[in-house]
C-alpha cells in the first residue's frame, strides 16, 4: 500500500467521523436517544483511531538508530493494534453499557426528527468515506477477495479504515432501526436493543482487527507471489546455482528483510562469490523493491543433507546444508 493512498483514506474517514460525531451528539441532546449517544461515542472513538493511524504513519518514517537498526516501520502495526483496543473499550463496551441501561430503564424518544435526520446525514457521509477506502484498496487489492485482502495486507491502515467504515455503516442502520421501532411502538426498549447490537458489532470488529494486527506485530513473511519472485531472482545458473533455503520478514509494511543461504560452485574464488552475491541482491531488489535488507550466505550444496526438506525451526545460519 502506498503511504499516500492510506493517508487519503484515513483523512477522509477522519473528516467524516468528526462531523458525524458532533451531529450525533447534538441529536442525542435534543432527543435523549441512547442509540445516538452510543453512535456519537462510536464516531468520536473512530476519529481518535484515525488520529492514531496518522501518528503511527508519521513515527514509522523515523530514521534507523543504533538501538533500532532496522528502523521504526512496525510503529504502524503498534498503532493499528491500539485502534482495536480503543474500538473495543471505548466504542463497544460503552455501547453495551448504554444499551443495557436503556433496556433496563427505557424512556421515549423526544424530537424524533433530530436522530432520524442526523442518522440519514451520517449514512451519506460514511458512505463517501467507505467509497474512498474501497477505491484506494482496489488499487492494490488485485485479485484478492475482500476477506483475503484484510487478512493478507501487510499495511494495516486500509483494512482498519475499511472495517471501521463498514462497522459504522452497519451501526448506523442498527441505530436507525432501533430509533424507528422505538417511535413506531412507543417503547424505548427498542432504542436500547439497537444500542446493544451496535456494541456487539464494534466488539466483533475490534477482535478481528486485534487478531490481524497481532499477527503483523509478531512478524509475517513476504506474500506468496513476492517469495516466488525472490526465489527466481536469486539464482543466475552460473555462480549461484541453487537457493538452499530462505527466510523473509516484514520489518514494516513497505520494508522486507530477506535472509537466504545460496549454493555456489566449490571452485569459485572469493571475488566471484562476492560479485555473485552483489548481483543477486540487485536482482532481488529489482524483482521486489521493498526487499531493502538482504543477507545472502554462500555455501556448498549437498543433496543428501537437504533431501529431507527444510527445517523451519532452524535459522539461515544453521549448518543444515
pLDDT for residue 311: 56
pLDDT for residue 1: 43
Residues 280/242, Cβ–Cβ less than 8 Å: no
CA distance 23 to 36: 9
pLDDT for residue 314: 58
pLDDT for residue 248: 95
pLDDT for residue 5: 46
The pTM is what? 0.74
pLDDT for residue 303: 61
pLDDT for residue 313: 56
pLDDT for residue 36: 79
Strands ordered across the beta sheet of 240-252: 240-252, 255-264, 291-299
pLDDT tens for the chain, residues 1 to 321: 444 446 888 888 888 888 888 888 888 888 888 777 877 887 888 888 888 888 988 888 888 888 888 888 889 889 888 888 887 777 788 888 888 888 888 877 777 888 888 888 888 888 888 998 898 889 888 888 988 888 888 888 888 888 888 888 998 899 889 888 988 888 889 988 988 998 898 888 888 888 888 888 888 899 888 999 999 999 987 888 889 999 999 998 889 999 999 998 888 888 989 999 999 999 999 999 999 999 999 988 776 444 444 555 555 455 444
pLDDT for residue 2: 46
pLDDT for residue 227: 93
pLDDT for residue 295: 95
Name the grid cell of 148.
483475503
Alpha-helical runs (H) found in 87-220: 94-104, 113-141, 146-152, 157-185, 189-218
Query: End-to-end CA distance of the chain, in Å?
Result: 37
Amino acid at each position: 500500500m502506498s503511504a499516500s493512498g492510506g493517508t487519503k483514506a484515513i483523512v477522509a474517514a477522519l473528516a467524516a467521523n468528526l462531523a458525524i460525531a458532533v451531529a450525533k451528539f447534538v441529536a442525542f441532546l435534543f432527543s435523549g436517544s441512547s442509540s445516538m449517544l452510543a453512535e456519537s461515542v462510536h464516531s468520536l472513538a473512530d476519529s481518535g483511531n484515525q488520529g492514531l493511524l496518522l501518528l503511527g504513519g508519521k513515527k514509522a518514517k523515523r530514521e534507523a538508530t543504533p538501538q533500532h537498526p532496522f528502523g521504526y516501520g512496525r510503529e504502524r502495526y503498534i498503532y493499528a493494534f491500539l485502534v482495536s483496543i480503543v474500538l473495543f473499550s471505548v466504542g463497544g463496551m460503552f455501547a453495551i453499557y448504554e444499551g443495557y441501561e436503556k433496556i433496563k430503564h427505557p424512556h421515549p424518544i423526544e424530537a424524533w426528527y433530530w436522530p432520524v435526520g442526523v442518522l440519514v446525514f451520517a449514512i451519506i457521509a460514511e458512505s463517501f468515506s467507505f467509497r474512498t477506502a474501497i477505491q484506494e484498496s482496489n488499487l492494490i487489492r488485485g485479485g484478492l477477495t475482500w476477506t483475503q485482502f484484510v487478512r493478507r495486507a501487510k499495511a494495516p491502515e486500509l483494512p482498519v479504515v475499511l472495517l471501521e467504515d463498514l462497522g459504522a455503516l452497519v451501526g448506523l442502520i442498527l441505530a436507525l432501526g432501533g430509533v424507528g421501532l422505538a417511535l413506531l411502538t412507543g417503547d424505548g426498549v427498542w432504542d436500547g436493543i439497537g444500542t446493544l447490537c451496535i456494541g456487539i458489532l464494534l466488539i466483533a470488529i475490534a477482535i478481528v482487527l486485534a487478531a490481524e494486527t497481532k499477527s503483523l506485530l509478531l512478524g509475517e513473511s513476504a506474500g506468496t507471489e513476492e517469495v516466488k519472485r525472490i526465489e527466481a531472482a536469486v539464482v543466475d545458473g552460473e555462480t549461484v546455482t541453487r537457493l538452499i533455503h530462505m527466510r523473509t520478514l516484514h520489518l514494516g509494511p513497505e520494508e522486507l528483510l530477506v535472509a537466504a543461504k545460496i549454493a555456489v560452485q566449490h571452485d569459485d574464488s572469493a571475488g566471484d562469490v562476492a560479485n555473485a552475491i552483489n548481483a543477486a541482491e540487485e536482482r532481488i531488489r529489482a524483482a521486489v523493491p521493498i526487499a531493502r535488507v538482504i543477507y545472502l550466505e554462500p555455501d556448498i550444496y549437498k543433496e543428501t543433507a537437504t533431501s529431507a526438506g527444510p527445517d523451519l525451526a532452524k535459522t539461515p545460519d544453521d549448518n543444515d546444508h
